[in-house]
Each structure stands twice: as structure tokens, then as C-alpha cells.
Structure 1
């Protein structure tokens, strides 16, 4: 029963009797041994990144590479293909097989590596392992193994290295799904988004107090995976003009640049108060722009249309939206050169779709929720999720 409740094994375990492999072998040599690699991972492949989901599938552990749908069909389901599988060929040990390539399954190797970030600072100057273990027993009354297994998810930044005939050696870093709060604008998670000539990419929407962030899980030579592609200022809602005026790009540009200037002035006042020793103080009241002929600022859907001159990879975008916010988008030259944040507008269409108009690029990105369900992917704490974001972003900083 523990195989079903802990690992989701739905296979008829009586089939094991035919192969001569016991439940104990499956648990000890397969599921328990490789339990740390279950969940979501991001490969370290230059700027491109990716999404790997490692799951228990019957009596196998399989690593599935998740790919966006074909451009520009952002609402289509994700594509996926097997990268590797682990199973018990015999009772002695588990076998790792690479599923990638035209020659069929062949031998692979997985090495799990962890960084005990919270523990490494307690290591004595001599650095000898036995002294460290003795110190833990004396000071904490615990063994290193006890601490590691009880608090592993909160104390480590985990990665595993996967070696195969074709990939040579790839490093994968763990990804957590963002924590969800009742006051979030929509449910956070993974989305597919259009990025012009770069096609569809996978991003993660997360909420951080007064701001929301869209982080790239897959990337391109301009903006690599791990970078924060869009930031939304939830304190500055934008009231779009009615549809007739919205068709005019200059009108939209004026509204967004006014919001940008308001944000700049508030930041300057905040810095002045800090220099004067007044502390942070209460937030400045948000002033909604007064737009002639503007549609009412409501949460119920209002009509939406892209301004003339704004390019969109997908013309099948929603024609109504719930609300809009000022935001900034990250742009850069090839090789992530001269990166800068430029103004834009975040458009919330519904629970599963949002968009972003890049003012400087005169382009529109449409994002659609990834509907797949992922096990073993929740962050153990908000702090662990924040550390994960810093970890994947540091690879390209």
C-alpha cells in the first residue's frame, strides 16, 4: 500500500511475482533510491533551458521532456517525449536507460549532487569529515544523515547530472512550482508564451507582494532561461481607453508612459524619505490616469483589441479582458547583451490567459496556462521557492 500512497504506483503489484522482483526490491532499489529526482527540473543547456518532469509510471521512473506546442498555437497542449527511464532489470540494481536518439534505448547514468548550503558554514577549519560529524552530534545531538533526510528539501539546492551516449553530460537543477495565496490575481504556475521569431517558450508566473514576475523556464539567445522576462506592478492599474481609442497606438503609449512617470516619481519620493531618515512610510495612493472616452475600470470583462501597428504571433487572442497593469519587459541583444527593462502593459484575460504589450518593440505576447498536473513539484516553503528563482537566474547573470 505504501507504494501507492507515497509514489502513486498504480500497477498491479502481483505482476512482480512473475518477474521474481519483490515489493521490497522495488521500494529499496528503485523508488526510495531515486526518490530525490522526482519532480520538475531545468536542464543547463546554454540560454535555452527546458522542462523535465521525472515521475513514477507503473514500475518505471521516467524522465519526460516537456515541449511547448507548435508556434503559434499557444492554447494547444504541451508536447512531451521520454528522455530516460529507470527500472529493475534484475534484482541486484536498477538500470538507467537513455530513450533519446534513433538507436533505441541504451545505457545512461544519473548522479545526484546536493549543496548543503545551510550546513557548509558550520564546517570547522580543518575540514575533516569526522570532526564535522562529531561537532553535529555534540552540538545538535543529531547525525548528518538525520538532518539531511528530515530537512533535505529546505537545506539544499539540488541538481542531478545525466550522462548518455548522445547528450554526453547534462546538469539539471530543481524547479518548484510557485506558492499560491488566496489574494493572488490568478493562480500562479507554468504558462506557454509567444516570443516573436523565437516561437513559443515556457514561463513561470509567480506573485511577490506588490509585484508579479514572469520567469523564463525556456529561453533564447536574446533573453536566456532563468531571466525575469516580465515584471508587473500590481499597485498601478491601467485603465485602457475604449476600443475606438485603443486602436490608436499613440494613445496607448501615452497612457503607459504616464504610468511609468508616476512610478518613477513615487520611487524618487521613497528614496528622498529614506535619505531624510523618515523610513518607508505608507505607500503613495495610486492615481488612476484620467483618459477621455475611457472604459470603466472594472473586473468584469471589457472589450479589448490590439492597437494598429502592434504585431502579434497569434491573432486568435481574447477580445475581452478583466484588468490591466503597468509592467516592464526585459529586452536585450543577441547573447544577452545590453539588457534593459522597457515599459509595457500587462493584460489579464481570464484565469488561464494573460498578455503583455511591449511598447518599445510594438509587439504582443500571449500566454496560456500549462494544464498538465505535476507531482512532487510544490516548494517546501516560500523561502525555498525564492532561493530556487535566484539559483536559476544566477546561471545567466
Structure 2
């Protein structure tokens, strides 16, 4: 799981929005005239803080690509003003203005100042922090003075795929307008720790030895279809306790809602959505070069269509970020398909989680739309073929870790690069990387 940390130090005390690294940005008192925050967005184990507006899912590495961080602070004191927005601030051009740091992780930090007129008085508060890229989602922010009763949401742009977005929240208090008190009384300087988690799921497929024909019909594309697909993310029911990759703290949460329009079908005719797809000619221009019936490393016309990332010769890769969705009881969740040039399904494999996967047998939850509302347990347990795609989990067929590099693109790096051989029509595995919250293995039925 990738973890992102916000730490804030106020002029008269310290409010830190941090995560696993516990880095605390302490700043000067400044005589109480203003309050300063140091915002730190950090990642443990991955230096890839990208300035680009979008990050494509080109491996299971948990990178980061964030332009803006918005903080929404609400009062928590009982009364008519409970959940009233008392401060809202957006840090623009995060990658361009924040400074790098390399302490207990890797990331960026930035100090900004709350004007004296906006200083937080004595009382209890909660801060919600969202890291995002402009234009990836429709985000409707509250205004200062609004009294909220619902969590903040993000809606995918029309006909657009999901993109990465991060969020988290935590409560804190201000004493006499000076001392900031958080949840860890053992710290000499009180702080509030909040973890920003990835709010989407991820899925990818990494294949080789793809059949060139089914019968007499040429295979033109490969795709993964799903029973469901959602368009709205709810930033609530956060997994604030998850700061290390241990099974005890993994959360099986669906924070997606509002189904997308169906655009595909399962082989049996059931309506479906496309999770990811790849055109064969993007990887093998001109088709099956050596006419041996499979697309693989023996075809000398193989090319990598991506400008970044490296893949084994003879492979095909496809991926997407996904707004999480719940399983449909009694209906298989995913199907891998081969299609002809007109979009007809030529062959399909049912996709399953490995029976030993931790998700099998779990009962997931759906995030509440209400502020601080508890997640609602789903009515049935996850099974090998009927399973949800949960927040901050990545589901993969094959193994492709971060930007695999090799001097010999025909030779896999053990444990790093392992495309699934589709010519054998055998089980295929979906994994979950510990840079995400969990990594799930899936298989294709013969």
C-alpha cells in the first residue's frame, strides 16, 4: 500500500497531518499572529513523485501523481455549528512548489500560512485532506461557513476512466487558540496523524503467447470485462489505522457508487463493463509475423507502445484505475476475452481469485455517505468467482512490478516479470502488492 502523509504545524502548536513515517514539520511560534501548516505528502519505498498531471497504471508499483492538495477543516463542537466548515485551502502546483525530503520515506512538503483573521479558535475540529489532479474528477468543494452532513465525493468525467486520487481525515483540538492536541498523548508536542490512502482500485493484465486465431478468425484485441463499474467515489469510512502492511489492518471497503452505463457483454450475453483492453496491433504491428499461431517473443515485429515502462518482448499489457464496486451475488465478477476486429467475443475465460487468497471468505463493506457514518457490511461473503474490487487493492493477471528493466528483454526477472501464457489456457493469477493495501491473486478457468 502506498501511504501519503500530511503533517501540519500551527504557529501556537503543532497539527501534523502525517502517516507512517511520523515526520513532523515544526515551525516557529510567530507570536500568535498567524498559524502555519507544513503539508507533507510522502511515500514509503517509492521515490516516484511525478509532476505529470496523470499517472497511468503501468505496473503494480504504487507511485504518486498529485497537482493539488485541498484541506477542509470543520468544527466538531456540539451545537448548530457542528460540521461547519471553518477553513478551506487548496495547495496549487504541489509538485512544483513543495520541496523534496527523504526522511522515513520519500515525498514532498510545503509550508503555508493561515491569515490571522482565519485562525482557529479553541475547540474540536476534523480535517479532511484530498490529493488530486485538476480535471480528473468533478469535485464540488464546500464553502467556508457551510454546515456539512455528507462526505465529499468525486465523480469521474463523462466517458472517462478513473484516475488516482488520495484522501484521509483526522480529528484534533485547539486549546486557548494555541495548543494543538491530537490523539497521541505520549508525544511531547501533540500532533494529529492522518493517512492519505489511494481511493481507487487498480487492475492490470500482462500476457504472452496470445492465440492469433480462434478457428479461422483473427484475434484483434484482448479485454477484461466486469459485472459492474461505478462513477462516484465517496471520501469516507477511512482506514486511518492502516499504517503498516499487515493483514490485521487490511480494510475491504467499496467506496464507489452510481453505476456506469454498460458498454460490453459477457460471452453468455450478460451486460458488462470494460475494465481494461489492448489492441494486438499496438504490440504486434502487422499481426502474427512468423505465422506460428501465437503472439509471442518469436514475432520480430513486437514493439512496446508505451513511452515509459518496459515489458518483456512478446508481451501485451493493459490496465486501468477503477472506482471500486461490489460483487453481484450469484454472478461471476470478471471475464477475460479475446475479440475479433468487429468486437465479437471469440473466446473467454472466467476469472477467479486464488482459493487461498485472503479476500475469499471476507465480508466487505460499503462506505457511508454520511459524515463519520459507519460502513455497511455486505450481505454475503466474497468467493473465488464472486468478489468485489475494493478500495486501495490492485488486481492483476500476471506479474509486472515497477518499471521492470532488463538488458535482455526476452528473459524474465524472477519474481518481477511474469506475463501469463494464454496459449496453455491455464489458471492465471491476480496479485496484490504490499505498496497497495492488499494484493490479490486471480486465476482463469480452463
TM category (shorter chain) comes to under 0.3
Question: Normalized against structure 2, the TM-score is what?
Answer: 0.22
The structure with more helix, counted as a fraction of residues:
1
Please identify the structure whose Cα radius of gyration is greater: 1
